[in-house]
């Protein structure tokens, strides 16, 4: 599995996501301008000592990332979506794309990929869920669908 963060802003969220990805053998792709330095102490603290287990990649643009994986499925996340994340069957090499904490994904990207845009159910009155929690919710559903990568070292 692959998690993609487009322009994440909060180092602690990204650090938590690094930890989740490291613990599950999931690749993490950071795209565009980051709201922090990769040397940020809060980022490192949130990722604990999992950095050596993490597979973290940097990409200048989303198009650059997508061009490297032209045959892969990409799923996009938005509170605006009409399809729940539980309504798709995830594959081992799929990408799940998340936007920045304050704005989510750009409208043009959602519009181009609307059929693959997913949401997590929540109360209408709640503005959003935390980014690192959202990643964990959808990633673990994808892994569950795959039998937690049967034959992998996940226990």
Interatomic CA distance for residues 15 and 17, integer angstroms: 5
- Give the mean pLDDT of the chain: 90
Over residues 80-93, the pLDDT tens digits come to 999 999 999 999 99
Q: Around Cβ 100, how many Cβ atoms within 10 Å?
A: 20
Helix (H) or strand (E) holding 59, with range, is strand 55-59
Q: CB of 104 within 8 A of CB of 7?
A: no
Helix/strand/coil for 80: coil
Q: Is it the case that residue 150 has pLDDT exceeding 90?
A: no
pTM score, whole prediction: 0.91
Distance CA 118, CA 115 (A): 9
Judge contact between 108 and 129, C-beta under 8 A. no
Domains and CATH numbers, the chain: 2-145 (3.40.1280.10)
For 122, phi and psi rounded to 5 degrees? -160, 170
- Structure token pair of residue 56: 């973290």
Distance CA 75, CA 4 (A): 10
Q: Which residue has the tokens 């287990």?
A: 53
- List, for residues 35-46, the tens digit of each pLDDT value: 877 775 656 665
């Amino acid at each position: 599995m692959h998690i993609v963060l487009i322009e994440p802003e909060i180092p602690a969220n990204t650090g938590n996501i690094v930890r989740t990805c490291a613990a599950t053998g999931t690749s993490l792709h950071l795209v565009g301008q980051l709201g922090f330095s990769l040397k940020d102490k809060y980022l490192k603290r949130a990722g604990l000592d999992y950095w050596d287990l993490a597979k973290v990649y940097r990409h200048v643009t989303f198009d650059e990332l997508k061009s490297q994986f032209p045959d892969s499925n990409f799923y996009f996340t938005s509170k605006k979506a009409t399809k729940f994340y539980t309504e798709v069957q995830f594959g081992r090499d799929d990408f799940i794309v998340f936007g920045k904490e304050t704005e989510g994904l750009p409208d043009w990207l959602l519009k181009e990929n609307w059929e693959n845009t997913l949401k997590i159910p929540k109360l209408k009155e709640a503005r959003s869920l935390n980014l690192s929690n959202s990643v964990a919710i959808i990633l673990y559903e994808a892994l569950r669908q795959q039998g937690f990568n049967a034959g992998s070292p996940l226990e």
